[in-house]
Amino acid sequence: MFFLVFKENSFGGSSILVEESQKVSLTGPYAIVRHPMYVGTIVMVIGIVLGLASWWTLLILVIQMPVLAIRILDEEKVMEKELVGYKEYEQKVRYRLIPYSW
């Protein structure tokens, strides 16, 4: 998932920042959900939980989900203000992580 995301959008990173030449990605996984890299992260953590077969590792997922939701909401506020065309993109691709849900 990470490779698909970076193929479509080379501006992904750990900080919430809009680059001067950045454009809204409308193809690949971005045509389905607005935050496909986070989807990949969730799938990876679920795989770790299942692979380790430990209920303790489930705690990672429980902590990660609300933190990720807060980050997504903060990121979208920045993108709406600073990235040309992002508001229209939100109208076109309605779901952040899970189609027909959120």
Query: Could you report the per-residue pLDDT of 54-90, keeping only the tens digit for each?
Result: 888 888 888 988 999 999 999 999 989 988 999 999 9
Task: With respect to residue 31, please indicate whether it lies within any of the assigned structural domains.
Answer: yes
Task: With respect to residue 97, please indicate whether it lies within any of the assigned structural domains.
Answer: yes
Task: With respect to residue 11, please indicate whether it lies within any of the assigned structural domains.
Answer: no
Spell out the residues 6+ positions from residue 23 whose beta carbon is closer than 8 angstroms to its own. Answer: 84, 85
Task: With respect to residue 6, please indicate whether it lies within any of the assigned structural domains.
Answer: no
Domain assignment of residue 32, given as a range: 25-102
pTM summary value: 0.77
Task: With respect to residue 18, please indicate whether it lies within any of the assigned structural domains.
Answer: no
Smallest CA-to-CA distance from 30 within 100, 82, 83, 94 is with 94
Q: How many domains does the chain have?
A: 1
Task: With respect to residue 72, please indicate whether it lies within any of the assigned structural domains.
Answer: yes
For residues 55 and 16, which has the higher predicted lDDT (pLDDT)?
55
Q: Are 64 and 42 in contact (CB under 8 A)?
A: yes
Q: Are 76 and 60 in contact (CB under 8 A)?
A: no
Q: In a 3-state reduction of DSSP, which class is residue 13?
A: coil
pLDDT at position 5 is 63
pLDDT at position 12 is 60
